Amino acid sequence: MLRYRWQVGGAVAFAFLAAGSLMAGLIAMGPILERILGKDPVGLATQLRELSDGGKLGIGSWVFQIPEGWLAVLPDSPSASVAFIMGALFVLTVFGAFTTFMHQYLSLNIVNRTMTNIRREAFHKVLRRPLKEIVVGGPSDAISRIMQDSAALTGGFSALLSRFLAQMTKGVGALAAAFLSDWRLAAVSLGIGPVLYFIIRKLGKRIRRASKASQVSQSELYHAASEALQGLRVVKVHSAERYEAGRFHRINKEVLRENNRVRTARALASPVVEMLTVFAVGIIALIAINNIRVGAIQPESVIQVLIALGAAGTSFKSLTGFANDVQQSSGAADRLAELMRAFPEPGHDHRLPKLPRHAESIEFRDVSLTYPGADRPALDHVSFTVRHGQTVAFVGPNGCGKTTLLSLIPRLFEPDAGGMVVVDGHNIAEYSVRSVRRQVGVVTQETVLFKGTIRTNIAYGAERTTDEAIVAAARQSRAHDFIEKLPKGYETVVGEQGLTLSGGQRQRIAIARAILRDPAILILDEATSMVDADSEAAINEAITRFGKGRTCLIVAHRLSTVLSADLIVVMDQGRIVDHGGHSELLERCATYRLIAQRQMHG
């Protein structure tokens, strides 16, 4: 919030002005009305003349010397003086209302802007986190922190700057008025301060722990809901609605349990404060009665102190709720702080040089990679070189590390210590990650389309592209014909995750997106797995034509794709076991022969 220092300063200043108007009203109303409505009432002009001279109330040092010209225009009759004073108090009330409005306006503006910044920075942090962490932990927790935790934090910020500051300053102002009226009676009320602090602190810790646990449970609840709804087709086909409903219900009950822990602590705060307040008022009343009898305290002073303490108590009573709001938000704040402190993926330092466009070779030097929590490495000391312009097909059993190996080129993953990926003699870890990824076009088996038009999906990530380039890329990927047949052509809006298109149509749009980038390195991870045989042949022909002069790395399970490659690399259990042409691998490599018999030919 301190990014908006001037607005914060203004909010604090208006809060003190609002509290000052309340204190002025409490100080002025009591003695003035007592003088006017007492046994020997006098007019306002006479009374102020006595006060300015240090009258019998003994507070002359608090009143400035009023010019005689001002006193001449003030009313001197009791009834006119009452009307004048009430009018002045009304003006003071209007001033207080204006300052309160300005305080709330500035406070809420600061809170809204701050939360907007926090959400933006949190989302930016998630985007820059290493993919390995997101793959292992899943995206649901990060989304929960960005959306739900930031919403919870909004309540704490609002309570702190808006309501807490306003009530705190008003409470202090009213308490100051009580001390100015009679400091002895007012001092008695301070006795409950340490007790209140102890209670609020204990309850606050309990609320903080329960709130953080609730945020974690809500993250799991979000994950369960999003997972079931995104895979709703699978859920329905397998008649698993009851299972998913039960899983959601179990997590939902855990959320309820943690929220009820927060509820209990919050519910205790208000009655405990009320009980202590009544206890303190009772003690003050007993002290006042005994002192009034002996003439040590005037009755009007007791009334004024009780009115001021009542105003202070009303303000301070609200502070328990505000403190609970802040503690409840602190759990969300801790989770957001963990997200903000997470290390980003390397390579985003603007001082790093840009990688020259690939033109010679790609080399994997002793590359290993182990996912967090895995019992064996996904890649185990892989060394291999690909020449520029080659089309290399990677084959192997599922889970052998093909996709992981190719993911090292655009630096989606970083190899373990000691290994490196070298492009044209340059270790890509020493260059800007954006300059590396600008040279790479990737098409995966799981096609990702975003909600928007087909045009924006093809142009995704390609800055300053033209309509002609988009259409040309669509023609090369064999997507142009079906796009033209759609009701709005390239302006047709696709649904979330592209579910309004067939799998083959989504795949062709993804290929067009990769072609539009004009990459030096083209990575195809089973890019034609979702299309029929005729479309596959046409797309392979287009990719072959587009791939001339580029390095093409293909993860393939189909024989037609493998046969069109310049080189075939066979992987198993994270290692490269052989490489060569189709015929020679059939003769000498048992792993390849088994793959060819079971996956390709079959």
- pLDDT per residue as tens digits for the range 385-398: 999 988 899 988 88
Q: Which of 45, 89, 53, 46 is nearest to 70 (CA)?
A: 45
Q: How far apart, in whole angstroms, are the C-alpha atoms of residue 496 and residue 499?
A: 6
pLDDT tens-place string over residues 23-32? 777 666 665 5
More confident residue, 57 or 201: 201
pLDDT of res. 63 = 42
Q: How far apart are alpha carbons 224 and 213 in whole angstroms?
A: 17
2-189+267-341 matches 361-601 in fold: no
Q: Which two tokens stand for residue 534?
A: 């005729």
pLDDT of 61: 40
Half-sphere exposure of 139 (CA within 13 A, CB side): 9
Spatial separation of the C-alpha atoms in residues 444 and 428, rounded to whole Å:
22
At 363 the pLDDT is 93
Task: Please name which of 522, 337, 347 lies closest in space to residue 426, comparing C-alpha atoms.
Answer: 347
Over 90: is that where the pLDDT of 422 sits? Answer: yes
Rounded-to-integer distance, Cα 571 and Cα 382, Å? 10
Q: How confident is the model at residue 103 (pLDDT cuts 50, 70, 90)?
A: confident
CA 379, 384, 387, 389 dihedral sign is negative
pLDDT in tens, 29-87: 665 555 555 555 656 666 666 655 543 333 434 445 556 666 666 666 666 766 776 77
Q: Which residues are 385's β-sheet partners?
A: 363
What are the sequence ranges of the domains in the chain? 2-189+267-341, 361-601
Lowest mean pLDDT of 76-90, 121-135, 356-370, name the range.
76-90
DSSP at 371? -
List of long-range contacts for 480-486, beta carbons under 8 Å, 24+ apart: 482/508, 483/454, 486/454
C-alpha span between 131 and 35 (Å, rounded):
77
CATH architecture of 2-189+267-341: Up-down Bundle (1.20)
Q: Hey, what are 504's tokens?
A: 């083959």
Between 166-180, 245-259, 309-323, 539-553, the lowest mean confidence (pLDDT) is in 309-323
Asked whether residue 427 carries a pLDDT value surpassing 90, the answer given is yes
Give residue-wise pLDDT tens across range 366-387. 999 988 777 888 898 999 999 9
Residue 376 near residue 193, CB atoms below 8 Å: no
361-601 CATH fold: Rossmann fold (3.40.50)
Compute CA distances 523 → 337, 392, 515, 556, whole Å: 36, 10, 11, 11
pLDDT tens-digit series, residues 434-452:
899 889 988 887 777 887 8
Only one residue has tokens 């109330």, namely 57
Tokens of 211: 């709130």
